Amino acid sequence: MREATVGWQRVMPAQPSRSDESLRVSTILVQSVLDVMQKHGISPAALLGSRADVLAKGTGEQSIALGEYQALLARAIELTREPALGIHCGLHASEASFGLVAPLVSHAATLRHGIGLVSQFSALLMEGVCVRLTEEASMAQFRCEFVAAHDPHNRSLIEQMLAGMARMLRAFGCTRADISQVSFEYPMPSHAAAYSLAFSGAERFGQPFTGIEFRAAALDRPHLHHHPELQALMLDQAERSLSRQSRPKSHSERVARLLCHLPADKLPNMAAAARRLGLSVRSLRRRLEEEGTSYRDLIQDRRYDASCMMLRNPQMTFQEIGYALGFADCTAFHRAFKRWSDLTPAEYRAAHEVND
């Protein structure tokens, strides 16, 4: 598929080797869970305890660890006895519970523009999510790449993401006839009936990616609710918020952020990276050395991080992963991964298998 040029700027976190546990989620997303729980007559204090006053009034500038947010989702499911709570959060939570991102996207000129904004500003809601739009012939794919997206332990979070994506497509006029498939990397869950209701039978499990396939013609339809002036105000606020949140503190972080925006098989050489950062090669090398690293180390970190994410997707073969990383053959990928981790790709995959 041809990859479209949607806003990739500042999509991924600064560090290239961050696990699910170290990623952060905006406290604004907690409100989406509370919105749904309120419909069940459950108070914020029942979910949040002594932290209710802080987390229930998230401004979008505060964050909690991804692991803590996942624990909140699990606790909410326990309290509501609703296994599909993630779907309900994505589909039915108020627009206000998605912070600046919702009004910014809802006033975009087209769906293509809206997807670009989601890609650019998704870090305002959660770190570590990478959104890609690809097109081929008459079809488009809106992919959501996330660490361990196939892992059933992350199911509620993935449900929330995909339901939110489907909600956005519908807001831009997409009907069931436009949406051909809603893909999940994990196996079919026991509450699959809730998926059928939410995605009108378009859901498919055990797929090689997480995302939605739909008619490309929908991308450039004029949006009835496009509001240029209001969107300009929201865009300014979103850019300010993202700048405060993601401003790198070191040159290694600046390089890591640059590399995280690019496909792992198209990473630039040091001269090209230095130009994009406004530095000479000599200055960049010296500053990285002062920080105890090198451009080569950061390149290897980026490729290792990408390889780990792909290896945790059981649908991808070692050959496909090697090709996606830019290796000439599978053997070269095996040697490199063994050098990075002291494990073979097969050993790493076996160690991270999750039983449903």
Number of domains the chain is built from? 2
Tens-digit pLDDT profile for residues 279-326: 889 999 999 999 999 999 999 988 888 888 788 777 789 998 998 888
Question: Could you give the CA distance from residue 152 to residue 352 in angstroms, rounded to a whole number?
Answer: 12
CA distances from 116 to 102, 219, 318 (A): 13, 11, 30
What's the CATH code of the domain at 331? 1.10.10.60
Residue 156 pLDDT more than 80? yes
Q: How far apart are CA 114 and CA 100, in angstroms?
A: 13
User: Which residue in 163, 148, 155, 190 sits closest to 310, CA to CA?
Assistant: 148
Residues 264 and 118 in one domain: no
Give the end of a domain, one of 203, 238, 273: 238
Instruction: Work out whether strand 24-26 and strand 2-3 pair parallel, antiparallel, or are unpaired.
Output: unpaired
- Contact predicate 103/230, CB 8 Å: yes
Maximum distance among all Cα pairs of the chain, rounded to whole angstroms: 62
**pTM surpassing 0.75?**
no
The pLDDT value recorded for residue 296 is 93
Neighbours of 145 (CB within 10 A): 19
Say yes or no: 210 and 254 in one domain. Answer: no
Summary mean pLDDT of the chain? 83
Of the given ranges (21-25, 102-106, 250-254, 277-281), which has the lowest mean pLDDT?
21-25
Expressed as residue numbers, the domain containing 325 is: 248-351
141 and 73 co-located in one domain: yes
Same domain as 314, residue 204: no
252 lies in the same domain as 309 = yes
Q: Which residue has the higher pLDDT, 258 or 110?
A: 110
What is the phi/psi pair of residue 144, to 5°?
-120, 105
- Among candidate residues 82, 67, 101, the one with its CA nearest the CA of residue 36: 82
First and final C-alpha spacing in the chain: 31
Q: For 244-264, what is the mean pLDDT? A: 75
Contacts of 222 (CB under 8 A, 6+ apart): 109, 110
Residues 275 and 202 both lie in one domain: no
* Structural domain contains residue 243: no
Summarize pLDDT for 194-229 with one digit per residue, the tens.
999 999 999 999 998 899 999 999 999 999 888 888
Q: Summarize the confidence of residues 114-129 as an average pLDDT.
A: 87
pLDDT score, position 203:
97
Question: In 3D, which of 263, 238, 264, 20 has the Cα closest to residue 123?
Answer: 238
pLDDT tens digits for 158-173? 999 999 999 999 999 9
For the four alpha carbons of 268, 270, 271 and 277, in that order, the dihedral sign comes to: positive
